[in-house]
Structure 1
């Protein structure tokens, strides 16, 4: 039989119990403070701890840096579109970037006519996955010689990537840049419109939207010829199945007999205003458009005619630009006058009449060759010596303009010009 504790023992047990309780409360308070310290501040991070949500990152590095190809993969049945995954040679993680931006590559390509048998070619390719992943990815479409001019050369850079660039190769890369990217305003539904290889920045935007703004309504319109050229098909279908806020509209212009309407694609024809009017719900939307010149030249003006304000139309064309961008009033007025433009190297004297969105468009319309890349003032490929005169820009270009030069892709003349082109 256990004897009953006397008064002293009972008091000691009570004191010990109180001390244990006090220690437990202190430990719990310390753990709660640690959790609070580890938890991100919602006001600072918008309730998302991933630094890739910050779409205002500065340029990650000046000039070029070496990046290694760690994988490559074709994205379509025809094997015309190939993805390249890149990691920094020095082991640093990929920088954050704005979904929709591009990488710029400085390539040394064989050229028997150039000194040393090589010439450097600069090309820009959109990032095709969201920020915050272990590698950067670009997806590049092989550009063949034009069907109506088979004697013309095929795409120099794209064919080099497809035929020559292999896993383990080192590429010189400039930091992500470009004005075409998704916005952070989750209150406005996003409409992503892609034509052909224009799907690449849309895949980046879509990945970011689903990861960081999953409740934001997003409509993706993807126009191409047939299932053989349908890039990222399984990936897009999986996203549609798992994210109710996503509405996917795939449009084939030349479907093959085996292409299944309602399975492989949802519409036949082209992505045009009539399709958008028929399938979009009423209300405000913000449009992000990337495609070939023919599509851009018809769809963007049609949206404006429909009443969509310019601030809700964001676009990027590949190939020669064919969309008139609204210019700042002062620049537009100053450059609308008829001004003489002299292209020194080409020996051409022309008259600017204000019909073109940029000096690059003007030069291309008159068959004056100027090397170009991004067409948005981000890569510096088109930098041309300004021998005489002044140009204006609607905004500050992403690329630092070299002294005594201009960027024809985003410049308009303010006076008579002499250009070394």
Structure 2
């Protein structure tokens, strides 16, 4: 007899009854509070809205994971360039739709696509990673690519191989090979902590994806968006950013021009003259209690991250994306030997090429070491993010 009282269904019903009674008591208490205090009523409304927003965020994340499981893919998938749009000087956005017509998986805002590009006169596909520059939930993926010029101090060098190809030789209707979205630099939409999104030049792409996602999901968290470019000629998605700042009162737009042209109007085209950095943050931010997301050229990211550390921002609150340069790889040989010490030398054997070469610590990575010795290896981001250069260690 007693066993019947503890059947799972009865326990569940009993639990539901208890919960309903408790909610009724809570509602009765709340009603009394509301009668006594208008201020408490406002506070309760805020709490209710917070709970609703958190519930929506959790449900969105659950739906995202379900769709990801259903629609993601392994290896290469073919995409058609359905649109190609000139965004700024030397920058095109490619709108990519799946060639097989199947739905796209969701992704975390801030992640990237890995491309396998069949560039003419190249002996094998060129692997490159480009950040997604729009939010998820659409029938396309978008990447925005800047044609990388030669270094200013080496004008005789060729411009970026893959960026030149995508800007100059890829057109609407062409087919590109891509891997599924990936990357560890992304915004967690289930968190409601205020955020600072920082983009430098074409580094705007992942933080623009984050901004779009926050606005499109109805987030009410405080959003500060900083963009640093030279002038309006490099200002990607200018009208779109201005529209978001006008439409959403929780979006605070701060655009910095370091070298404005005569047509650029202060407080119209840009808010600040100079560069994005600690001095500006201290000037406009109410505190340093934010999650910071940063993407831009290495000098800018180094300056910003060092500045935030000086300001006392915890390291765990600073998130950044870094991709290696496409054309020139700087060798840290001189830096490695400044202290007079020498790295231990040992032999490294590459099984596929059957070459054995001596590692002396001169190169910054195994990828650089292989390439310096004429050994071809797949690579993409050159920063250890995309996984294209992963290789097996057989022994040692």
Is the CA contact 2:113–2:178 (under 8 Å) kept in the aligned structure 1?
yes
Among 380, 388, 402, the residue aligned to 2:387: 380
Residue ranges of structure 2 left out of the alignment (5+ in a row): 1-51, 331-341, 350-354
Distance 1:278 1:232, change over 3 A: same
Give the structure with the higher percent strand: 1
Are 2:100 and 1:90 aligned? yes
1:359 aligns with 2:365: yes
Counterpart Cα distance in 2 of 1:255 and 1:57: 43
Q: Distance in 2 between matches of 1:179 and 1:94?
A: 20
- Counterpart secondary structure, 1:70: strand
The two structures, once aligned, show a CA RMSD in angstroms of: 3.2
Contact 2:146–2:163 (8 Å) recurs in 1: yes
Q: How does 1:199-214 map to 2 (within 5 A)?
A: 199-214=204-219
Matching of residues 289-328 of structure 1 within 5 Å: 289-320=294-325
Cα distance in 1 for residues equivalent to 2:266 and 2:140? 35
Q: Tell me the TM-score normalised to structure 2 length.
A: 0.73
Q: 1:109 aligns to what?
A: 119
Distance 1:190 1:100 in 2: 14
Superposition TM-score, scaled by structure 1 size: 0.69
User: Does the alignment pair 1:60 with 2:65?
Assistant: no
SS in 1 for 2:181: strand
Larger displacement relative to structure 2 (241-250 or 211-220): 211-220
Partner SS for 2:255: strand
Contact 1:290–1:318 under 8 Å retained in 2: no
Cα deviation code 1:125-182 (max 9, x no counterpart): 0001000011111110011222321211111001111111111111111000000001
Displacement of 1:359 in angstroms is 3.2
CA distance in 2, matches of 1:252, 1:154: 24
How many angstroms apart in 2 are the aligned matches of 1:314 and 1:203? Answer: 15
Q: Give the gaps of 5 or more residues in structure 1.
A: 1-40, 323-336, 390-421
Matched, 1:72 2:67: no
Residue 360 to residue 141, structure 1, CA distance change in 2 (3 Å):
farther
CA deviation vs aligned residue, 1:222-242 (integer Å, no higher than 9, x gap) = 001110110000000000000
Query: 1:206, 1:109 → 2: CA distance?
Result: 33
Aligned residue pairs, count:
323
Give the alignment partner of residue 151 of structure 2, picking from 136, 141, 146.
Answer: 146
CA distance in 1, matches of 2:225, 2:314: 20
Matches within 5 A, 1:9-28: none
Shift of 1:188: 1.3
